[in-house]
Amino acid sequence: MKKTLKLVLSVLSGLLLFAAWPNVNFTFLIFIAFVPLLFVADHSKSPKEVFGYTFITMLIWNASTTWWLWNSTSVGAIAAIIANSLLMCLPWWGYAICKSKFSKPYSLVALGLFWLGFEYIHLNWELSWPWLTLGNVFAGHPTYVQWYEYTGVGGGSLLVLYFNLVSYSFNNDLNKQRTIKKGVLYTLILLLPIILTAIFNFNALVNREKKTAYKNIIVVQPNIDPYQKFELSNASQQINSLLSLSTSALDSNTQLIIWPETAMSVAEWQENITGNPYYQPIFEFARQHPNITILSGIETFKNYGSIKETPTAHASSSGMYYDAFNAAIAIKAGEPIQLYNKSKLVPGVESLPSFLRFMSPVFEQFGGSTGGYGRSASSSVFKSNGNEIIAAPIICYESIYGEYVNSYVQQGANLLTIITNDGWWGNTPGHLQHLAYAKLRAIETRRWVARSANTGISAIINEKGQIVEQQPWNKAAIIKYNIPLNNEITFYVKHGDYIFLIGLIGSILIIILGIYNKIKKRFI
- Residues 450-460: pLDDT tens digits? 999 999 899 99
What value does the mean pLDDT of the chain take?
89
Mean pLDDT of the 108-127 span:
95
Residues 233, 154: one domain?
Answer: no
Residues 173, 232: one domain?
Answer: no
Residues 101, 238: one domain?
Answer: no
Residues in the chain: 524
pLDDT at residue 100 in the model: 83
Position 197 pLDDT exceeds 70:
yes
pLDDT at residue 371 in the model: 52
Residues 189, 310: one domain?
Answer: no
Q: Is residue 339 part of a domain?
A: yes
Residues linked to residue 214 through DSSP beta bridges, in sequence order: 484
Q: Is residue 264 part of a domain?
A: yes
Residues 189, 241: one domain?
Answer: no
pLDDT at residue 367 in the model: 40
Residues 266, 203: one domain?
Answer: no
Mean pLDDT of the 170-180 span:
65
Q: Is residue 199 part of a domain?
A: yes
Mean pLDDT of the 458-475 span:
96
Residues linked to residue 422 through DSSP beta bridges, in sequence order: none
Q: Name the 3-class secondary structure at 306.
A: coil
Residues linked to residue 269 through DSSP beta bridges, in sequence order: 301
Residues 173, 252: one domain?
Answer: no
Model confidence at 390, pLDDT cuts 50, 70, 90, reads very high
* CATH number of the structural domain spanning residue 322: 3.60.110.10
pLDDT at residue 212 in the model: 60
Residues 21, 145: one domain?
Answer: yes
Mean pLDDT of the 379-383 span:
96
Q: What is the tens place of the pLDDT at every residue in 359-372?
A: 554 444 444 444 57
Contact status, residue 457 vs residue 471, Cβ threshold 8 Å? yes
Model confidence at 176, pLDDT cuts 50, 70, 90, reads low
Residues 398, 440: one domain?
Answer: yes
Q: Is residue 22 part of a domain?
A: yes
150, 192, 174, 56: which is closest to 496 by C-alpha? 150
Strand ranges in 369-523 using DSSP code E only, listed in sequence order: 382-384, 387-395, 415-420, 449-453, 459-461, 467-470, 477-484
Residues 138, 241: one domain?
Answer: no
The total number of structural domains in the chain stands at: 2
pTM for the model: 0.91
Q: Is residue 169 part of a domain?
A: yes
Residues 191, 309: one domain?
Answer: no
Q: Which amino acid is at 235?
A: A
Q: Is residue 492 part of a domain?
A: no
- What residues make up the domain containing 480? 214-485
Lowest mean pLDDT among 231-235, 307-311, 462-466, 518-522: 518-522
Q: Is residue 276 part of a domain?
A: yes
Residues 505, 391: one domain?
Answer: no
